[in-house]
């Protein structure tokens, strides 16, 4: 082994990692971000420890109350988790980020960490069912009033705000599962309450909500950010003051991110740009092909001119993403036949990974909604959501067209 590669190198100064702030494109930032530790390792370093040695009682008292401390106790913070948080903050254009054990951990902390009895929340009807259940079933138990509006209707959020009472406006765009969009510029212009956006379907390489005046950007990093179906994570990004204010509730909530998941999430960020480009291109081709299928009643994809908010999508999305939804003729029977007929795609409820996944929304992701709530959300018995993977587009398109033939032929 040469001296340069061996132990004689220990005294040498490590060259600084490239500064992501010097580059504007999110794909480049995703590769460079989260490397402030100063180490020479290129892969994320794993700190699996739950506990750290405290240097002194005085230092321990300071560390216990420091929201930025990563070497006190892992429920408070951890070096591996901190690296993921740093990367997300740099990628989102935020001052700070906080990682959680799941997307719902992040959503719950935003809602319950900011709102108290007597407060009011405005949210949209087109929401992930877990978020909707939190708002409609849990919040009232704590005296928090919630108003649901049509997030795609111009002015709906602002019109529902109650001055002096509304603490939080919560949006999700693109919305699960029909890809309805919220006008982020309009949302960011609302004065008074804090604005939070669940942007899981549009990672920072596609949309950065904070650029539009939104206060908090929320993600289930389990999905596209992690990108490999091997990390269960949530993350919230915003100003340092806001993230620090959520830190205390997050410590009590206990939904802290595990170091191993944070390591996998950070690894996933490195390939975010190329994955989204491939998935978006395949999704566009698939959406166009399904639009021409006689057994498909409608297709929802922001990249299609037929999407009712296609113009808005072009204004606030760099790519149109790897998610699409469509309605089969023949209702739930057709949906069941479709799920049974796919050969390459796999039936599963998650999204953003390397495998193409299909889900019958009414019986999986939104199974807890009543028939009336499903109808209000635009989810029919034949609604199928597709998370496009990284397989060759020829194979993805052929497989789903074959399944549509089998389901409606």
Q: What is the mean pLDDT of residues 176-186?
A: 96
- 13's CB contacts (< 8 A; 6+ apart) are none
Q: What is the pLDDT of residue 5?
A: 38
Question: Per-residue pLDDT tens for 166-176?
Answer: 999 999 999 99
Known active-site residue 53 = no
**71, 132, 195, 223: which one is catalytic?**
223
pLDDT beyond 60 at 10: no
**27, 66, 75, 267: which one is catalytic?**
75
Question: Per-residue pLDDT tens for 244-272?
Answer: 999 999 999 999 999 999 999 999 999 99
pLDDT beyond 90 at 108: yes
pLDDT beyond 70 at 164: yes
Question: Per-residue pLDDT tens for 278-318?
Answer: 999 999 999 999 999 999 999 999 999 999 999 999 999 99
Q: Give 20-270's CATH code, choosing from 3.40.640.10, 3.30.465.10, 1.10.10.10, 3.40.30.10.
A: 3.40.640.10
pLDDT beyond 70 at 9: no
Known active-site residue 275 = no
Q: What is the pLDDT of residue 40?
A: 85
pLDDT beyond 80 at 384: yes
Model confidence at 4, pLDDT cuts 50, 70, 90, reads: very low
Q: Is the dihedral of CA 322, 336, 373, 107 positive or negative?
A: negative
Between residues 379 and 399, the one the model is more confident about: 399
pLDDT beyond 50 at 378: yes
CA neighbor of 407 nearest in space, from 345, 344, 336, 324: 336
Which residue bears the tokens 């081709």? 285
Q: What is the pLDDT of residue 28?
A: 94
Q: Are 284 and 320 in contact (CB under 8 A)?
A: yes
**119, 180, 198, 215: which one is catalytic?**
198
Q: What is the mean pLDDT of residues 358-382?
A: 82
pLDDT beyond 90 at 24: no
**What pairs with residue 149 in β-bridges?**
124
Model confidence at 348, pLDDT cuts 50, 70, 90, reads: very high
Rounded to whole angstroms, the maximal C-alpha distance in the chain is 74
Known active-site residue 36 = no
Q: What is the pLDDT of residue 366?
A: 77
Whether residue 271 has a cis bond before it, omega within 30° of 0 = no
What is the percent of the chain with per-residue pLDDT over 70, rounded to a whole number?
Answer: 96
pLDDT beyond 70 at 13: no
CATH 3.90.1150.10 domain residues, the chain? 274-408
Question: Per-residue pLDDT tens for 226-249?
Answer: 999 999 999 999 999 999 999 999
For helices 272-291 and 393-408, what crossing angle results, to 10°? 40
pLDDT beyond 80 at 16: no
Known active-site residue 128 = yes
CATH 3.40.640.10 domain residues, the chain? 20-270
Domain 274-408 has CATH 3.60.15.10: no
Q: Are 79 and 49 in contact (CB under 8 A)?
A: no
Q: What value does the mean pLDDT of the chain take?
A: 93
Residue 19 to residue 97: CA distance in whole angstroms: 18
Question: Per-residue pLDDT tens for 132-151?
Answer: 999 999 999 999 999 999 99
**73, 128, 178, 195: which one is catalytic?**
128
Q: Is the dihedral of CA 391, 395, 401, 407 positive or negative?
A: negative
What is the percent of the chain with per-residue pLDDT over 90, rounded to a whole number?
Answer: 85
pLDDT beyond 80 at 369: no
Q: Are 400 and 286 in contact (CB under 8 A)?
A: yes
Highest mean pLDDT among 6-10, 361-365, 386-390: 386-390
pLDDT beyond 80 at 375: no
pLDDT beyond 50 at 53: yes
- Residue 395's Cα: distance from chain center in Å? 27
Model confidence at 12, pLDDT cuts 50, 70, 90, reads: low
């Amino acid at each position: 082994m040469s001296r340069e590669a061996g132990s004689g190198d220990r005294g040498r100064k490590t060259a600084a990692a490239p500064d992501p702030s010097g580059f504007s494109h999110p794909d480049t930032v995703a590769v460079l971000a989260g490397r402030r530790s100063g180490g020479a390792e290129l892969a994320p370093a794993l700190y699996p420890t739950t506990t750290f040695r405290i240097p002194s009682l005085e230092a321990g008292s300071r560390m216990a109350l420091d929201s930025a401390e990563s070497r006190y106790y892992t429920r408070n913070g951890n070096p591996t988790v901190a690296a993921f948080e740093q990367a997300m903050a740099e990628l989102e254009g935020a001052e700070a980020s906080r990682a959680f054990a799941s997307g719902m951990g992040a959503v719950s902390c935003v809602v319950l960490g900011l709102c108290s009895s007597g407060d009011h929340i405005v949210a949209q009807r087109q929401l992930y069912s877990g978020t909707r259940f939190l708002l409609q079933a849990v919040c009232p138990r704590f005296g928090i009033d919630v108003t649901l509006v049509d997030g795609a209707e111009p002015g709906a959020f602002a019109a529902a705000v109650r001055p002096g009472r509304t603490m939080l406006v919560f949006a999700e765009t693109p919305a699960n599962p029909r890809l309805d969009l919220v006008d982020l510029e309009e949302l960011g212009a609302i004065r008074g309450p804090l604005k939070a956006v669940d942007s899981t379907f549009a990672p920072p390489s596609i949309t950065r909500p904070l650029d539009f005046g939104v206060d908090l950007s929320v993600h289930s990093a389990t999905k596209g950010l992690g990108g490999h179906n091997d990390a269960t994570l949530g993350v919230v990004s915003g100003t340092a003051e806001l993230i620090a204010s959520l830190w205390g509730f997050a410590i009590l909530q206990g939904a802290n991110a595990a170091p191993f998941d944070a390591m996998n999430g950070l690894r996933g960020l490195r390939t975010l740009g190329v994955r989204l480009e491939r998935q978006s291109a395949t999704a566009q081709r698939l959406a166009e092909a399904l639009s021409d299928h006689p057994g498909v009643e409608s297709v929802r994809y922001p990249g299609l001119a037929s999407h009712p908010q296609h113009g808005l999508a072009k204004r606030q999305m760099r790519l149109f993403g790897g998610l699409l939804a469509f309605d089969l003729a023949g209702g739930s029977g057709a949906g069941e036949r479709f799920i049974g007929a796919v050969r390459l795609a796999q039936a599963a409820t998650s999204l953003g990974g390397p495998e193409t996944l299909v889900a019958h929304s009414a019986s999986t992701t939104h199974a807890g909604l009543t028939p009336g709530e499903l109808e209000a959300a635009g989810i029919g018995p034949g609604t199928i959501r597709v998370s496009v993977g990284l397989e060759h587009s020829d194979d993805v398109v052929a497989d789903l067209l074959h399944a549509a033939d089998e389901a409606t032929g």
